[in-house]
Amino acid sequence: MKAIRIHKTGGPEVLTCEDAPEPQPGAGEAVVKVEAAGVNFIDIYFRTGLYKAALPFTPGMEASGTVTAVGPGVTEVQAGDRVAYAMNPGAYAAYALAPVWKLVKLPAGVDAKQGAAIMLQGMTAHYLAYSTFPLKPGHTALVHAGAGGVGLLLTQIARNIGATVITTVGSDAKADLSREAGASDVIVYAKQDFEKDVKQLTGGKGVDVVYDSVGATTFDKSLNCLKPRGYMVLFGQSSGPVPPLDPALLAGKGSLFLTRPSLANYAANRDELAWRAGDLFQWVASGKLKLRIDRTFPLADAAKAHEALESRKTSGKVLLIP
């Protein structure tokens, strides 16, 4: 089979398409013929070495496809089942091995591309809105990268809950997409000072929560956008990691809360995974949650997919098709 391999960390050029042995399932495992693999910033973090993995390795934390084989004692899925999964390495390949407990069956109303597009980013949006800072009607949230994969989904979920959403985006075209997703106000950060605008939009009160996947370039001003006892939810670092800070800073800005969550801790068992994925599939199938797949690439063009995502010119999901 063909698979993308990384032999040394670095730029997109380290992603090479090679022949690799087809995986064989052990106890509690299944082999999935990959129909679509999601491309996410976590893949870039592993590719550059920001997140550590033993070399060489096949990147990719999210895929959908059809089960072709199961290991001894597996009864939850069988060959022929359409499934999707997230937070399991090795998705950039024609076949991938996954623990059975991480597999969720795709309902009839969700196709393979949708399945790969919704799992990682959708469950991230779900835990952010329902668990990390449980949104309620009347809350106001600031969402950075509002036209990105998580941003578009999180905005829709927050609006469906009844919260008000302010977003930041990188261009006027992305601003239109963010408004279509339900943002009440959109700030183009290249032309506007988001801290100043957020304070103006909230009458100087600030927002209840900031959902920030950008990191270094937005973090300091984001803290200044919060109400006293507001929540700073830093769930990514596409612009680079945030420098160390003195916790006393949080007290001085209004007894703020700061958390750095990860999907691995918010979909840590089968019940939690089934809850989040089940909600998402139901919303997609009913039209309550709209997915935007920005573009797809052949598996061999994984480097081009990473370049597209890193350029911040994408709006929505990027997929690899083996």
User: Across 184-278, where does the E strand assignment appear?
Assistant: 185-188, 207-212, 226-234, 257-259
Number of folded domains that form the chain: 2
pLDDT of residue 305: 97
Of 260, 295, 313, which one is at a domain's C-terminal end? Answer: 260
My answer on whether 142 and 185 are in the same domain is: yes
Farthest-apart Cα atoms in the chain, separation: 61
The token pair at 268 is 């840590």
Q: Please tell me the distance from the alpha carbon of residue 250 to that of residue 256, in angstroms, as a whole number.
A: 5
pLDDT of residue 171: 93
Beta bridge partner(s), residue 232: 210, 258
The token pair at 62 is 């999210």
Write down the mean pLDDT value for the chain: 96
Q: Give tens-digit pLDDT for 109-137.
A: 899 999 999 999 999 999 999 999 999 99
Structure confidence at residue 247 as a pLDDT band (50, 70, 90): very high
**What is the domain-level CATH number for residue 161?**
3.40.50.720
Parent domain of 102: 2-120+268-321
Q: Give tens-digit pLDDT for 42-85.
A: 999 999 999 999 999 999 999 999 999 999 999 999 999 999 99
> Amino acid identity of 319?
L
Tell me whether residue 206 is in a domain. yes
The token pair at 173 is 């075209």
My answer on whether 41 and 59 are in the same domain is: yes
Q: Give tens-digit pLDDT for 1-18.
A: 999 999 999 999 999 999
